[in-house]
Chains A and B, each alone.
Chain A
Amino acid sequence: MKFEKIAIQNFRQYFGKQEIQFAKEPDRNVTVIHGINGAGKTSFFLAMNWCLYGRTVDDVSIIANVGELMSKEAVEQAATGERVEMTVDLIFSHDERRYTVRRSLGGEKHENGEVMLDDADEFVMMVSSRVDPQAKRVANPLGTMNSILPANVREYFLFDGEKIDNFAKPEASQQVREAIYLVLDIEILERAKDHLDTRAVEYRRQLKQISGGELWELIEQEEQIHKDKTAAENRVTEVESEINSVNNKVAAVDEHLRNIQDARNLQQRRDRLNAELEQRRTELKSTISRLATSASGASAALAIPAIERAITLLDQKRERGEIPSGIRQQFVQDLLEQLNCICGRPFDDGSPEHERLFGLLKSRLPGSIEDDILDTHALLKQIPASIEQRQSALSDLMQQRTNLNQIIEKFEDELDDVGRQLAGSPLEEIGQLEAKRMEYLSDRDQYNLEMGALQQKIDGFDDTLAKLSKEINRAKQEKSAQRLLTKKRDLAQRSADAINEMHQLYADDMRKKIEAKTKEIFGQLIWKEAHFKDVQLGSDYNLSVIDRYGKPARPELSSGERQVLSLSFIAAMSEISEGEAPLVMDTPFGRLSSAHRNSITQVIPELADQLILFVTDEELRDVAESNLKPRIGAEYRLNFEDLTGCTQIEKVS
């Protein structure tokens, strides 16, 4: 989607008809609209949103708490009984088509000076293409608009710069997930899965209705367990969110303690101990995993008696000369044919030497088996040594595990000690903070416990469902309707499960791509690039910045840095979605320092196909202004006239 032109008439302080052309050339894709506070930037921004979506669409509120939209001056100047109308026209291109949309709302002026507005606004959309330049009316303009840029996706492309730091707030993981799902169309897969789940429930219900006896009861049980499982899964999501919230609270207390002079040393010691503990726990985990690999492949140790007996049997065979040590059958045959011993001495047919060689040839097993025997013998001889080696490695790993456990125990004791010292601090504030922290940790333990119980419950449900499914299949009656419904139910459930799996894989893939792109863009925009080492978007959809110490830095991010992080995230989504979309930003740099403004203005024109900025003069000056200058294709100024209370749009040449 790329905007070409807008015409605003009688919308808020825009009295009469005024229009601007947007920049849309690839190398000059920036439109800057200047205006001091109150000049009408937000009204202009609202006009664009209102034109495309109205006040609300599909329960999504587009414009709220902004008062009347009709120009007061237009109402004032109209005579009683005269019709007053506000309209916003927008022309944009999308997928090689050119759209013209108009939203208008009007009403008649009454004697009391008020305008009685029509019940609903009017929305018209025309479309033309290169093939057919004659514009035609679109029969379903709302649906078409929603397919071009869905209303709930809009806010990630047309957004208020002052609220942009939302994504970087600790509690925003749900919002981040929602944004990714909407912009990258992952939500469609989720909806498909929900739809199929609903169908499966419906088929189960129908099947229950036409079934009887045992099958009916089994299906009822299955349905109940599905319900119980869904309830348990929902609770898992809630508990995950609670744990997340508790972790954030603990991090906030830690940060607070770091900032109190009398607690700083102890808190820093706790930080160090926690880092050490984490490292040791990782080492322990890896050691246990190596132990499992080593022990699970060491069963040969239990077969030593069999191996020894097999070696003895093979040795006896060899001693009896029944297995020539590596002498090939062909070689023995050659000796017999030449009637010559290996030492060069000739022998006669029928001589003892001849008989002996002939006996060897007869008693020998077929060539390939002979090879097998020889190789087996050689390999078996090596096995006791390899068992010993493996047992020695196991013993080393067990020792390593013991050492790590001791170290971890020591660190845990030290951490308890730090906690006790903080709790017993003579400063009331420190003691209270530590008590709060312990309370949070206790809550977390409770939640973890509940999580374990829930997982166990869900596993139990899965087992029961698997058993029930078998019983249901067994008890299925032969009626064709039942068979058909059963097939439909199974198909719907299997499809839902398959889509769910696919959806999770796809969502995870997209999340990782967005994480990498956000990191790349954040690195370009932030001035403390060396301090911030990484940007992570975890499976819980928490967007976090990792500092040079490898710790999450989000609690310490300034609002400007949060804004930069959010902007990086939005730009990453835009790029990963591969759709042509404009970025329309209302007062985007208000809270940014000059360093951030400078780097953003240098990079941002590259991050979107079209960029429309509503800025104050303070926001865009000096280096930031000169950075943007070469990319600006259109520039306007909003002049608010105090005498009339209206805004005039002036083109900056």
Chain B
Amino acid sequence: MVHSVDTQTKERVLIDESVMPIYRELRAEGSSDPEEKPFSTFKDIFMLAACLGFATGRDLQKLPGNTKTDIRETIFSENDLVVLKAIAISHVGDVEVLSTPGEILRIAEGFAHIGISEVKRYLLDTSGLPLWNLVDLVSPATKEGF
């Protein structure tokens, strides 16, 4: 079983209020069209943002001070947490980062903050509906060229 990170002080990831409109624009509400709002949770958008943020290779940024929305660590699945751990190990260059679960989430937050503008660029600012842009993004051909 994966060691739970909630034994540490940080039990949630924060999202800056300034980028919340992007999250809201992509999350399904009621009977909204999945082609326009393909995500059912903020958590999945956060995961995409974190992965894209890391992939940009840009330096990790500290989150602005006015963060408001948060996602509890318990919302993440075992696989999500393993991916976030991989990002943290890869970023720090040492597996010992696993001994500080709060740091894993802090790194994820930083990359998600960088990555959310990429999410907007790929899914919302590119022609076509967000769902099909997302399918292109996670399909093998795009991933290799990314």
A interface, CB within 8 angstroms of B = 288-289, 291-293, 295-307, 309-311, 313-314, 317, 323, 365-366, 368-369, 371-373, 375-376, 379-380, 383, 386, 391, 394-395, 398
Contacts and interface: CB of A to CB of B under 8 A. Distances in A.
Contact of B86 (A291, A301, A310, A323): A310
Contact of A302 (B1, B2, B51, B95): B51
Given A302-B138, A391-B139, A307 B86 contact: yes
Contacts of B131: 288, 291-292, 295
Given A296-B39, A373-B98, A376-B98, A394 B135 contact: yes
A299 B1 CA distance: 22
Contacts of A323: 95
Contact of A380 (B50, B82, B93): B82
A605 B22 CA distance: 61
A302 B90 CA distance: 14
Given A288-B131, A306-B87, A299 B51 contact: yes
A317 B39 contact: no
Interface in B108-142: 131, 134-135, 137-140
Interface in B63-81: 78-79
13 contacts: A288-B34, A292-B34, A292-B39, A293-B40, A296-B40, A296-B44, A299-B51, A305-B90, A310-B89, A311-B86, A313-B89, A314-B89, A383-B83
A310 B85 contact: yes
B140 to A, nearest CB: 6
Contacts of A304: 143
Contacts of B93: 313
A375 B86 CA distance: 12
B48 A299 contact: yes
Interface of B: 1-3, 28, 34-35, 38-40, 44-45, 47-48, 50-52, 54-55, 78-79, 82-83, 85-87, 89-91, 93-96, 98-99, 131, 134-135, 137-140, 143, 146
B135 A302 contact: no
Give the most central of A288, A306, A307, A313: most B CB within 10 Å. A306
Nearest to B137: A302
A297 B83 CA distance: 12
Nearest to B140: A391
Contact of A368 (B3, B44, B52): B3
B84 to A, nearest CB: 9
Given A302-B143, A317-B95, A376 B85 contact: yes
A433 to B, nearest CB: 35
B102 to A, nearest CB: 14
A307 to B, nearest CB: 5
A291 B55 contact: no
Contacts of B94: 313
Given A298-B138, A375-B3, A394-B138, A383 B82 contact: yes
B82 A379 contact: yes
B52 A302 contact: yes
Nearest to B35: A288
A391 B78 CA distance: 19
A296 B38 contact: yes
A398 B83 contact: no
B115 to A, nearest CB: 9
Given A317-B95, A369-B3, A375-B1, A300 B79 contact: yes
A288 B48 CA distance: 19
Nearest to B92: A313
A313 B40 CA distance: 34
A314 B79 contact: no
B88 to A, nearest CB: 8
A302 B144 CA distance: 9
B77 to A, nearest CB: 9
B98 A372 contact: yes
A316 to B, nearest CB: 9
Given A306-B86, A373-B98, 20 more contacts: A292-B40, A295-B38, A295-B135, A295-B138, A296-B39, A296-B44, A296-B48, A299-B47, A299-B50, A300-B51, A301-B140, A303-B50, A305-B90, A306-B54, A307-B86, A314-B89, A365-B99, A380-B86, A383-B82, A386-B79
B95 to A, nearest CB: 6
Contacts of A314: 89, 95
A365 B146 CA distance: 36
Give the most central of A291, A295, A380: most B CB within 10 Å. A295
A298 B137 CA distance: 10
Nearest to B38: A292
Contact of B135 (A368, A380, A386, A398): A398
A587 B34 CA distance: 54
A592 to B, nearest CB: 41
A395 B139 contact: yes
A557 to B, nearest CB: 31
Contacts of B28: 292
A436 B139 CA distance: 48
Contacts of A395: 139
Contacts of B146: 302
B127 to A, nearest CB: 18
A375 B81 CA distance: 12
B34 A366 contact: no
A376 B87 CA distance: 12
Contacts of A376: 2, 82, 85-86, 98
Contacts of A365: 96, 99
A584 to B, nearest CB: 43
B118 to A, nearest CB: 10
A307 B83 contact: yes
B137 to A, nearest CB: 7
Give the most central of B79, B85, B87, B95: most A CB within 10 Å. B95
B38 A302 contact: no
Contact of A369 (B51, B99, B139): B99
B12 to A, nearest CB: 19
Give the most central of B28, B44, B83, B87: most A CB within 10 Å. B83
A313 B85 CA distance: 12
A399 to B, nearest CB: 12
